[in-house]
Chains A and B, each alone.
Chain A
Amino acid sequence: MLAVYLKDLSAYFRTFSGYVFMSVFLLITSIFYVTGNVFSANADYNNTLGSIIFIFILVVPILTMRLMTDEVSQKTDHLLYTAPISFTDIVLGKYFAAVTVFAITLLLTCLYPFAISFFGELAVWEIVGGMIGFFLLGCVAIAIGVLISSVTDNLISAAIGTFGALLAIMFIDSFRSIYPAEINPNAVFAAVLALGIAFWVYRMTRSHVLEIALAVLGLGAAGLVFWLRPELYQGFVYHLLGWFSVFFHYSNFQMGVLALSSIVYYLSFVVLVLFLTVQILEKRRWS
């Protein structure tokens, strides 16, 4: 893992992608800092941080699009896959390299609140909490970028895919709050979801038997619940998608609350996404 980590970390600074990421990140944050804190003479830095969480949609693709796709296009995946290291080593090495670049950049932005502290009262611990949340949110976004980079074949689709996935995750909050909470539409959603999962399994395994079995099982379970305990469908979509509303969980941090549940949520999200990445890579290799 360390070998891959060191290689990819230095690759960020050998090529331009690390510098491009840093410049874009610092440019956007500084614009919001100047308008949100300096011009308005406002010491609430957490508010600024909270208003720029969309930044990940723009900058994370820069950071992650090359990670796996470059190996494939340069054919260096031959070297990595035939070396005595595991996919976990490769994925974690790459992930931590990207996180390190992000962490360095984020540390540079600490200058902003530091500058504020000369001119007013600074809620130091709240800002520390906000920064930790911001960092964790970035870690989640980078994990998603690593995942997308592993399933796409070229740089452009990795970049657009990551952008799209992060955008979709950002809009999940709006979607889940406008989706009706009544029982029927939620039951329909569950049925569609069951069919979707069955189709996805088919795409992965190419087994019609498994697909039909899963579809029947999923629809059966959904129908059974609908028949026996329909009240369980109340707000089903809202709760289900709540699991994926990464940006929503940031609100705690923005208020400066270092909630353990949010930290655990972000960390487990990262672990889950990276685990999925390793599984997908293994699957792609052995099929």
Chain B
Amino acid sequence: MIEVIDVSKRYGKHLAVDRVSFKVDKGEVLGFLGPNGAGKSTVMNIIAGYIPMTAGKVTVDGLDVVADGHEVRRKIGYLPEVPPLYGDMTVAEYCTFVSRIKHVSSSKRKQHIGEIMELVQITDVRRRLIRNLSKGYRQRVGLAAAMIGHPEVLILDEPTVGLDPKQIIEIRNLIKELGKTHTVILSSHILPEVSAICERIVIINHGRIVASDTPENLSARLGGGKDLVIRVPGQAEPALAILDGIAEIKEVEVMGEREPGTVDLLVKSERDTRSDIFFAFSKAELPLLTMKPYDLTLEEIFLQVTQEPQEGSSDVSSIS
């Protein structure tokens, strides 16, 4: 559905996006992950036709975003980083305006807007000025604007930023729901968010794609899920002695004292060793205060994927 081929974007001397290539199939939800300033918004702006690329090509449904810009823009609903809202309009006026510029026929307009407002739950604020809305509502009005006109593709740039946890869950569920009928590209700098919604993740850093895979493969490749953090009382030595007795454990790292009188250990192993650890500690009568999977932070993921350039580059070529 969307094909990004060797797209680069240069701002003066600064190369913001460097030969980025990826493909999004029809009906797929793609997560675009990267720290702030990685080039996520630039790539999304290019796909949506807001800015041109310096080199490369983007096609949506076989149509070039530059040459057939008008046709492509009909197919895309775009929610930029800052929702493009007119503060002096009411929500209803704004939605009407958006439906007009997206050529929704006037006979269907009212019903169409009503449905979308209901879907993103802004019906109760429809008569309020956008300027007076909270950040969460503004985000949802922006999302409504992207959805107006039934575009096949939704490009959502950090749709959950600035929302409270309850709203984040609501928006996530909504996007999941939309993913059934739309092709969605979604950017974020929060890993759990992307893994919760997306079928595939593209990680971008310093304008380059460093990894591209399904959330499961990605976390498996990065050793996520199998590594454990345990917390034991007292010193590390007795615990290390016990862990030494479990054959599958590859490596144990002392993480230090996170809670007074205890010590945290990072246990790396080839397979799931939780039961072994539990029974070993219970046999030695040393209580396990905490045992949880070790979640990689985004920074650590970047460190990991950027430290394995071989694998990263082979991934890029396999998807282009």
**Residue B128 is within 8 A (CB to CB) of chain A in the complex:** no
CA distance A14 to B88 in the complex (A): 7
Verify if B85 is at the interface (C-beta below 8 Å from A). Answer: yes
- B103, A84: Cβ atoms closer than 8 Å: yes
Distance between Cα atoms of A11 and B90 in the complex (Å): 12
The answer to whether A285 and B78 have CB atoms under 8 Å apart is no
Residues A76 and B51 in contact, CB atoms below 8 Å apart:
no
Query: B155 — nearest CB in chain A belongs to which residue?
Result: A82
Partner of B98, one of A10, A74, A77, A79: A79
Is B278's beta carbon under 8 Å from chain A? Answer: no
Which of chain B's residues has its CB closest to A81's CB?
A: B50
The distance in angstroms between the C-alpha atoms of A286 and B46, with both chains bound, is 11
In the complex, which residues of chain A have a beta carbon less than 8 angstroms from the beta carbon of B103?
A: 84
Give min CB distance, A101 to chain B, whole Å.
16
* Interface bracket on A: 20 to 34
The answer to whether B84 and A84 have CB atoms under 8 Å apart is no
Assess whether B82 is in contact with A75, with CB atoms less than 8 Å apart.
yes
By a CB distance below 8 angstroms, the chain A residues around B197 are: none
Closest to A15 in B: B88
- Evaluate contact between A82 and B50: CB separation under 8 angstroms: yes
The residue among A6, A14, A81, A84 with the most chain B CB atoms within 10 A of its own CB is A84
Taking the complex as formed, is B102 at the interface, i.e. its CB lies under 8 A from any CB of chain A?
yes
Q: Do B78 and A78 touch across chains, with their CB atoms under 8 A apart? A: yes
- Expressed in whole angstroms, the minimum distance between the Cβ of B77 and any Cβ of chain A is 9
Known: A79-B98, A80-B101, A86-B70. A14 touches B89 (CB 8 A): yes
Complex contact B86–A2 (CB within 8 A):
no
Instruction: Give chain A's interface secondary structure class.
Output: helix
Q: Which single residue of chain A is at the shortest CB-CB distance from B82?
A: A75
A4: interface (CB < 8 Å): yes
Whether the Cβ atoms of A75 and B80 lie closer than 8 Å is yes
- Please determine whether B101 and A4 come into contact, CB atoms closer than 8 angstroms: yes
B13 CB, min distance to chain A CBs, angstroms: 14
B57 at the interface (CB under 8 A from A): no
Q: How far is the CA of A78 from the CA of B71 in the complex (A)?
A: 17
* Contact sample, A vs B, 12 pairs, CB 8 Å cutoff: A3-B100, A74-B85, A77-B84, A78-B45, A78-B48, A79-B145, A80-B101, A81-B49, A82-B48, A82-B78, A83-B98, A83-B101
B→A interface (CB under 8 Å): 45, 48-52, 66, 70-71, 73-74, 76, 78, 80, 82, 84-89, 93, 97-98, 100-103, 145
Known contacts A2-B100, A83-B73, then 13 further A-B pairs from the complex at CB < 8 Å, ordered by chain A residue: A3-B100, A7-B89, A15-B88, A74-B85, A75-B82, A77-B84, A78-B50, A79-B84, A79-B98, A82-B49, A82-B50, A85-B101, A287-B52
Q: Nearest 3 CB-CB pairs, A to B?
A: A3-B100, A79-B84, A78-B80
